[in-house]
Amino acid sequence: MTPSSSIASRVACIELNAPPVNSLGIALRRHIVDSVRAADADPQVAAIVLIGTEKAFSAGADVSEFGTPLQFETPMLRDVIAALESCSKPVVAAISGVALGGGLELALGCHARVALASARLGTPEIQLGLIPGSGATQKLPRLVGAERALAMMLTGQPLTADELTASGLLDRVVPQDLWAAASALALELAQADFPLSRARDRSVNADAARAAVSEALARFNARQRAQPAYQALLDAVQASALPFDAGMQRERELFLALMQSPEAAALRYQFRVQRESGKLPPSLSAESRDFDRVAVIGAGTMGSGIAIAALEAGLQVCLLEQSGEALARGSARISEHFVARVKAGKVDAAKAESLQGRLTATLDWSALQSVDVVIEAVFEDLAVKQSVFRQIDAHARADAVLATNTSYLDIDAIASVTSRPQDVLGLHFFSPANVMKLLEVVQGRDSAPDVIATGMALGRELKKTPILCGNAFGFIGNRIYNAYRKQCEFMLEDGAWPEDVDRALTDFGFAMGPFAVADLSGLDIAWRMRQAGAATRDPRERYVHILDRLCEMGRMGRKTQAGYYTYTDGKASPATDEVVRGVIAQASAARGIERSPLSAETIQRRALLAMVNEAALLFSEGVAHRAGDIDVVLVNGYGFPSWVGGPVHWARTQPRDLLEQELDRLVAANGFGAVRATPAMLDHLLG
């Protein structure tokens, strides 16, 4: 219970109530400072509690103020915190919901902290290309030790108050009655005869700080090395061993420099476009249909992954297969997943059992009568999917939403075999479906707005980032990835080896290079698709035969211990072997190309330009509804470095003339049939 009056039993309650998440914009900052000063001056008041809403104590600095003068309008967050610290009466933070970034720093400025066990506390600044800028880099090491502080700030992932109980960050953790616990502690502090304790007055063990910093540095991965915020974080924590004000000064300098960095600008952009991407255009505004029972048809890797995601979201799941054997394999895969989660301590056994208890496995199509959403996840073949959809049409309830999980196929061709194409949509999950965040929600010609709204809502329920796409070959992601991969194959013919391309692109920040990815997913899938497309391919088109030759030699990728690379005990050879080099050199010779090495920069620019060109083409066709959606897809599903923002954001940072000239050259070299996005299309894409 929170008192509605501002003073109860001599404890002043300062409520933070700036929906939706109490971000610390100028109005809220003023409110806090004014309220603290008033309470400090009020002789009726003995102590103060700062309390937020059920959803949020505070989600931190107002990101929408970044880059505007409002961010620096006083009182700035530092001033607010200084007002708390200099208050002559104890101030207690009562934390429910989230306390993130500046929100946590606000709490660290209080004399004590009480949290609901379910509250989540953390410093996500690193995900915005920043370090905490209002004291967390100095105060967390003082409260929880440098090692734990660094771990929290490097991951940016919040921890629950429950997990932080004994950390030193929180004075009390309570299951409920937050106000009662916080006001009781506030009065205790007011009545105690020792001085008020402040995080800033503690000291840091300099040796421990140095050790934690050098250990973290030694463990840096490529993504951390590529982003300046990680090194800055180490520098700031190192400075926590200095006197407090000197450390704060260092934090400030580092923070302000990062604010200007291109990486932080790109990550802020991603923050914005990720949130926009969930919103449907007005033409599609409709209520989602209700759903809590889902059927997944096909218990292969994809189907079981989708079933796991749905079970973990608390939905009832019916897994349907053709053969008892396949069903048993799928069910076993699902229970192995939950066993592993329990073993890893990610979920407790009772919870896992109750989630898994919502699964039924069946061979009986009539089970579809009771489900709200059907997700077909069978083999990627149009005829196979159409025959499954005829069965679905015969058995599913009249108001059920019917989804096909496909990466390339035409949703309309699948919907057309049913009597209700308006209820059909595509849901393109990424593998492993229970892990990958991206979900392409594909709108067919006839998909009804409430069916699309249901697809988006289901995506959110499964904790995914759903992106609306038009029904075109490869949708957004695979269409752009194909253009990129094709360009990388051209570069092999032109003079690069697979490891040159992969290294240049991982150096750029991609999670993996395209040839390592191809080996991992298996070259045979692409080979089959190429064979299927051979009949319609124009012989004048620039077509790179390297992958086909490798497959003909039985080199299908990791699964055969050889593809572009050779694998020993699952580890790739650092360079391609002579056999592969021979195949590549032959391909170059057959096209009359005299091979010459490509610089890392050339490789990076050609790969990115190919993406930008395709992005402009598909955007002009309406396959993506917002340019930002394209960047969300590439970052969340294809390992594009988030700190570069995505291909569209990257293109916006390039001089336009150069972009046009390079595109001219690139598309000319791509040969017959290559389509260049027009300047008008680029204008449309880049805004």
State the virtual CA torsion across 334, 338, 340, 345 in degrees, nearest 10.
160
Helix or strand or coil: residue 375? strand
Within 33-62, the residues that bind ligand T1G by CB under 6 A are: 56, 59-62
CB of 438 to ligand T1G, least distance (A): 16
Residue 321 appears among annotated catalytic residues: no
Nearer to ligand T1G, 21 or 93 (CB): 21
**Pairing state of beta strands 120-122 and 159-160?**
antiparallel
**Residue 561 beta carbon to ligand T1G: minimum distance, rounded to whole angstroms:** 43
Q: How buried is 138 (Cβ within 10 angstroms: 0-12 exposed, 13-18 middle, 19+ buried)? A: buried
Nearer Cβ to ligand T1G (100/523): 100
Query: Which of these segments, 17-25, 471-479, 538-546, 605-613, binds ligand T1G (CB under 6 A)?
Result: 17-25
125 is annotated as an active-site residue: yes
How many residues bind ligand T1G (CB under 6 A)? The answer is 24
Rg (CA), the chain: 28
Q: Which is nearer to ligand T1G, 101 or 421 (CB)?
A: 101
List the one residue out of 156, 247, 245, 169 whose CA is nearest residue 209. Answer: 247
- CA nearest neighbour of 626 among 385, 269, 147: 269
- Cβ of residue 266: shortest distance to ligand T1G, in angstroms? 15
Asked if 171 and 136 count as a contact pair (C-beta separation under 8 A), the reply is: no
Does 264 bind ligand T1G (CB under 6 A)? Our answer is no
- Distances, alpha carbon 91 to alpha carbons 140, 166, 248, 522, in Å: 18, 21, 21, 59
Tokens of 48: 């103060």
* Whether 296 contacts 319, CB under 8 Å: yes
- Determine which one of 125, 312, 499, 614 is catalytic: 125
**Closer to ligand T1G at the Cβ: 81 or 685?**
81
CB 286 within 8 A of CB 450: yes
Residue 453 has phi, psi (to 5 degrees) of -60, -35
Nearer to ligand T1G, 111 or 139 (CB): 139
Cα–Cα distance, 133 to 171 (Å, whole number): 23
Helix, strand or coil, per DSSP, at residue 598: coil
Strand pairing class (438-443; 316-320): unpaired
List the one residue from 23, 316, 356, 405 that touches ligand T1G (CB under 6 A): 23
Q: Of the two residues 77 and 518, which places its CB atom closer to ligand T1G in the complex?
A: 77
- In sequence order, which residues have a C-beta less than 8 Å from that of residue 129 and are 6 or more positions away? 227, 228, 229, 258, 261, 263, 264, 265, 266, 267, 268, 643
Q: Looking at beta carbons only, is 208 or 259 nearer to ligand T1G?
A: 259
Q: How far is the CB of 289 from ligand T1G (least distance, A)?
A: 22
Which of residues 16, 18, 21, 469 is near ligand T1G by CB under 6 A? Answer: 21
Q: Smallest gap, in angstroms, from Cβ of residue 647 to ligand T1G?
A: 23
Phi (first) and psi of residue 256, to 5 degrees: -65, -35
- Min. distance of Cβ 460 from ligand T1G in angstroms? 9
**Binds ligand T1G by CB under 6 A, chosen from 1, 4, 5, 20:** 20
Distance CA 328, CA 362 (A): 10
**What is d(CA 270, CA 84) in angstroms, rounded to the nearest whole number?**
33
Write down the catalytic residue from 105, 312, 440, 489. Answer: 105
| Nearer to ligand T1G among residue 236 and residue 627 (C-beta) | 236
Interaction of residue 77 with ligand T1G, rule CB under 6 A? yes
Angle at alpha carbon of residue 494, lines to 488 and 498, rounded to 5°: 45
- 3-state class of 294 per DSSP? strand
Q: Which is nearer to ligand T1G, 60 or 141 (CB)?
A: 60
Q: Which is nearer to ligand T1G, 105 or 321 (CB)?
A: 105
Distance CA(499)–CA(357), nearest Å, equals 47
Task: Report 90-149 residues binding ligand T1G (CB under 6 A).
Answer: 98, 100-102, 105, 124-125, 128, 130, 132-134
Name the minimum Å distance from CB 22 to ligand T1G. 9
Measured CA to CA, the distance from residue 125 to residue 264 in angstroms comes to 10
Contact criterion met (CB below 8 Å) for 561 and 567: yes
In this chain, which stretch among 18-26, 368-376, 411-419, 553-561 interacts with ligand T1G, using CB under 6 A?
18-26
> Between helices 301-312 and 349-356, what is the axis angle to 10°?
120
Helices H, strands E: what count in the chain? 28, 20
Q: Which of 37, 202, 225, 275 binds ligand T1G (CB under 6 A)?
A: 275
First-residue to last-residue Cα distance in the chain: 49
| Smallest distance from ligand T1G to CB 96, Å | 13
The residue to which tokens 């009359």 are assigned: 592
CB of 72 to ligand T1G, least distance (A): 12
To ligand T1G, the closest distance from the beta carbon of 309 in angstroms equals 17
Does residue 171 touch ligand T1G according to CB under 6 A? no
Residues that bind ligand T1G (CB under 6 A): 20-21, 23, 56, 59-64, 77, 98, 100-102, 105, 124-125, 128, 130, 132-134, 275
Instruction: List active site positions.
Output: 105, 125
